[in-house]
Structure 1
């Protein structure tokens, strides 16, 4: 499908997307579940809201039990709805049905696991009145965490911004790089500020695979899931014995940490070319969704677009640009 191809290569053309939507609306009866999912993925990823198309696709999809068995399509259609601020209850109830969630955990469908975690964040922050909760939540979290990839090569852009930030905050101990959130996103740079806007030294919360044992031993997990997760931890301890990861501040309550004295938590997102359309500087949907979830979790999000940073011709200009971004947004 052409819309899916555009989204895959990051080509953004609003007029073309409107034309595709107009044609699709007249022929949705001929689309299968994968077609509908791919279509919605395109509009969500390219961040081109089309309310009528999303509503009609959703109605067609949820009315067909056979289509609802396509998990990838479910996630894409739900994402397209979230992108336009819609929470279609029948689709969300299906996504969070206990037996389906258990199946997703056991099969290790990481796309669905991550989406469920992030959907839970959005529901709690934006739709608290909806009577929806994620079943087997601790198992979803543990399984998704163990499936995550931790190798993130540090870009030259991030290094350059980090150097400038060190001059502003006075020390690189006043921020954390590549901090893992409870929504299983990585924040490029996390800064914590006191009520005067001064950086607070960040506790160095590093964790290894062995530290996940408390999650696995939770009485909320059935023995079968506990065995599955223990085996996965054991494999990663063998294959990645030195692997550790830095935890973001939203883990504080889970790991016995404290946010005392913290007035504001700032997430600096270093948005390189892959966060934007290939043919323009239009921000892509996955990046916007991440920023939205981080805000729901309590962060002030500051985006540093690569094309703005590249325009800065001196280190002093970089420092002033970052200082303005940081203190204008946070006050």
Structure 2
């Protein structure tokens, strides 16, 4: 319907919410309305209002319709404002709302304009339009307020947040009247909350909306899936999923999923997964079917994300079929940057390594890189580092893009920027202009990926010939402390098994063939290294390949002790090490085993070989082939650069031994004494 027609159709309903004292002869209102009864009820039927049109009113409406039509065809914000500026006739507040709606629709069509630098913020005509509307909010009905909020959402970067907050307050005050709104308006409210990132507060408004949606879902005739998906997606984005909504939604989805449109199904499943709601098998079966059959790239993108996030199951046939579809020459799925990133990210989450697919994705992504948002770009690039899959052309183009638009990506999210650099690092690429940005104090303060920052600094320390930027001593100490002490301590599932085997092997090498597993330890289990890593075991051997004992067993440090050690120069003297341990040993339980790398005396001086034993379980490799993942590659590379011998124990070599202690013994003995990495 034409915008003008919708405007006429709303006039009667708009007046239902006006104060009883309001005079309809006001010059602000275009149509002159007369009321049949002076008594105002909570919801008088529209028949109580009768519109009396004059020739001037009809002419005015035609001019407004022409204005709205011209603005809807405008090519940009500026041109739409120029059209409005040339319009000299007076506008009622309701006409102004329709004008604002036309402007907001122009914002969606204007693909070439960057919303963050839009000229509307400084446009006097636009600001006057908004101010005039805000000055007459008391004239708006509840549906008008919802429409105004929707317009503000589309123009959110050009709207004062306080204006949106004022409109939200008026909507919230409507209380139970919200139940009279159509489902589309309910969905629009939640969508606007998500646009303005209202993560706290407005609980009364949300409670009313949840009650309305739950009631709608129990109705046999409810079929407004567009509204439902907006509500679900809004709650998921805000991280405010209401528990009361889960069961009714799942029940509705179960009985209606086959008649719902693909986009609504995908959005609702995505919202449930993002909100950490457990999903049943029938939902995943539907998701898999849609991924393979849907022609919508958005639907496939949403459900690929769900598949990767859930890790519900691994089905090689499913991924082979998906690969066949995506690699087909006529596939349109490659044209969507977000879909491309979600597809690869899903493969990374389930650890399905497909070099052919990655090569094809890199080829297709080259002309799309500039269109990717920071999050999509970081997910896409992360996968190449995750799988340790080189792509020279992709990373060359990526470096050029990031160097030329460095400030843009820094502003959009330091985490995304750091994730991208991690992939460069795994593939032994060192873009100096980009690394320099990561080591700035203001960048580090807002970064949650400090281990990656430390890995970048490790690369600088172990590659002096590259003249890479590096952290200052105070920065490194602070990050090292946070990296080692502020994350949960997790132990390998194989650690105890290998520790016992290793301890007996080491005692045997000294001529002790007893089965005294509680004898003096000849290695440090779960050792924390001075470069931010923790390893399953560390062994020092002398010139005769005999193990050197840790000493007085004081390698079990408290958190306070490790934090203080991080602030010291590394390595420190044995005397200083003992003093720190003595001063902090009672400040918390012993949780951390420190590596020999922290000290420069005694035991280390006598060592001719420093060996690290790392037990690599299934999550160190791709699930479909024995391909080592990037996180293991970079760890081994950097620790070897710092002077340790790195011995890997792959799970697929260790598992077959089961309880055959002798076989395990011979296996470790053969590999660590012969100075070789265990074969993969």
Instruction: Determine which of 210, 216, 223 is the counterpart of 2:560.
Output: 210
Q: Which residue of 1 aligns with 2:505?
A: 168
Counterparts of 1:128 and 1:20, CA distance in 2: 34
> Cα gap change, 1:59/1:68 in structure 2, threshold over 3 Å: closer, same or farther?
farther
Secondary structure of 1:188's partner?
Answer: strand
Instruction: Determine which of 649, 659, 677 is the counterpart of 1:304.
Output: 649
Residue 53 of structure 1: CA displacement?
Answer: 0.7
Number of residue pairs aligned between Structure 1 and Structure 2: 302
Secondary structure of 1:260's partner?
Answer: helix
> Cα gap change, 1:214/1:284 in structure 2, threshold over 3 Å: closer, same or farther?
closer
2:662 maps to 1:316: yes
**Two-structure CA RMSD over aligned residues (Å):** 2.5
Q: Which has the higher strand share?
A: 1
Q: Does the 8 Å contact 2:559/2:592 carry over to 1?
A: no
Counterparts of 2:564 and 2:547, CA distance in 1: 33
Residue 92 of structure 1: CA displacement?
Answer: 0.8
Q: Which residue of 2 aligns with 1:77?
A: 420
Q: Does the 8 Å contact 1:54/1:80 carry over to 2?
A: no
Instruction: Determine which of 182, 194, 205 is the counterpart of 2:530.
Output: 182
Q: Which residue of 1 aligns with 2:596?
A: 249
Instruction: Determine which of 5, 22, 30 is the counterpart of 2:371.
Output: 30
Q: Does the 8 Å contact 1:33/1:61 carry over to 2?
A: no
Q: Which has the higher helix share?
A: 2
Query: Any residues of structure 2 matched to 1:58-207 within 5 Å, and which?
Result: 58-64=399-405, 65-69=407-411, 70-100=413-443, 104-105=444-445, 107=446, 109-111=447-449, 113-130=450-467, 132-135=469-472, 136-149=475-488, 151-155=489-493, 157-170=494-507, 173-203=521-551, 204-207=554-557
Secondary structure of 2:605's partner?
Answer: coil
Q: Which residue of 2 aligns with 1:232?
A: none
Residue 124 of structure 1: CA displacement?
Answer: 1.2
1:169-193, CA deviations, whole angstroms, 9 ceiling, x for partnerless residues?
A: 0066111110011122111011111
Residue 206 of structure 1: CA displacement?
Answer: 2.4
Q: TM-score, normalised by structure 1?
A: 0.83
Residue 305 of structure 1: CA displacement?
Answer: 0.1
Gaps of 5+ in 1: 219-236
Residue 68 of structure 1: CA displacement?
Answer: 2.3
Q: Does the 8 Å contact 1:110/1:144 carry over to 2?
A: no
Return the structure number with greater relative CO, CA threshold 8 A, min gap 6.
1
Counterparts of 2:618 and 2:596, CA distance in 1: 27
Residue 97 of structure 1: CA displacement?
Answer: 2.3
Secondary structure of 2:521's partner?
Answer: helix
Q: Does the 8 Å contact 1:272/1:305 carry over to 2?
A: yes
Q: TM-score, normalised by structure 2?
A: 0.42
> Cα gap change, 1:244/1:91 in structure 2, threshold over 3 Å: closer, same or farther?
same
Q: Could you say which structure has the larger radius of gyration?
A: 2
Secondary structure of 1:259's partner?
Answer: helix
